[in-house]
Amino acid sequence: MIRSWLAYLSLLLLDALLWVSVDGYIYYLLLRVLLMLPILSLLLFLVGNRLIQIHVEPYAEGGKLRISSALPLLFCSRIHVNGLWHNGFYETSESVTTDLKHNTKRLQAPDMGSGQYHLQLNKLQTRDLLGLYRRTTKLHEETKIFRFPQPVPVTDAVYQKVAKEARQRSAGMPGSDYELKEHQEGEPLRHIHYKASYRLKKR
């Protein structure tokens, strides 16, 4: 913004020197136009900021930003949005920044594992057409998406190993497959299959 003001003041000073030295009417008109440009840019900038309404909605891969009107894109040279992605399952976060150049903008969620992703927009920065003015406002737009675990191909050997471990956990006896047998003294009572024992007792 400081560079824009320096460039504008330099151009204004150059035109004033030409008007004084050359005494040309065209430089006088140009000087008046240059003096009016910041005011005109400021008025358009204020109107554009009044019309900015940013909404965020979920889609399959992240969040989609949407501006209700295209006029702010014409009255502002830059519309910059800051936000934060948060994974509630792993408690990880990642910041996100983007410039809006069209009515809609898609923000793809970062790779932070599976779980619930929460996108929160917290800051909006805008600049006028000449780059002389800047405005920062707070945003309170948010959305949520769910990212499910991706299926992984499993070989037959891995499947057999996992199935055996599952049977062992079900039986509660490490090192042996799931089966019914007589209860031995000293074994935990929670391993007794009471329904099967009742059926055997009735026979």
Burial of 51 (0-12, 13-18, 19+ CB in 10 A): middle
| Chain segment 139-185, per-residue pLDDT in tens | 888 899 888 776 666 677 766 776 677 666 665 554 444 566 676 77
Indicate whether 55 and 77 sit together in one domain: yes
Indicate whether 33 and 79 sit together in one domain: yes
Work out the pLDDT band at 197, boundaries 50, 70, 90. low
Indicate whether 114 and 90 sit together in one domain: yes
Looking at residues 125-144, what average pLDDT do you find?
92
Indicate whether 50 and 119 sit together in one domain: yes
Number of domains in the chain: 2
Residue 105 sits in which domain range? Answer: 1-151
pLDDT value of residue 19: 79
Indicate whether 57 and 1 sit together in one domain: yes
Burial of 109 (0-12, 13-18, 19+ CB in 10 A): buried
Indicate whether 185 and 96 sit together in one domain: no
Are the C-beta atoms of 122 and 138 separated by less than 8 Å? yes
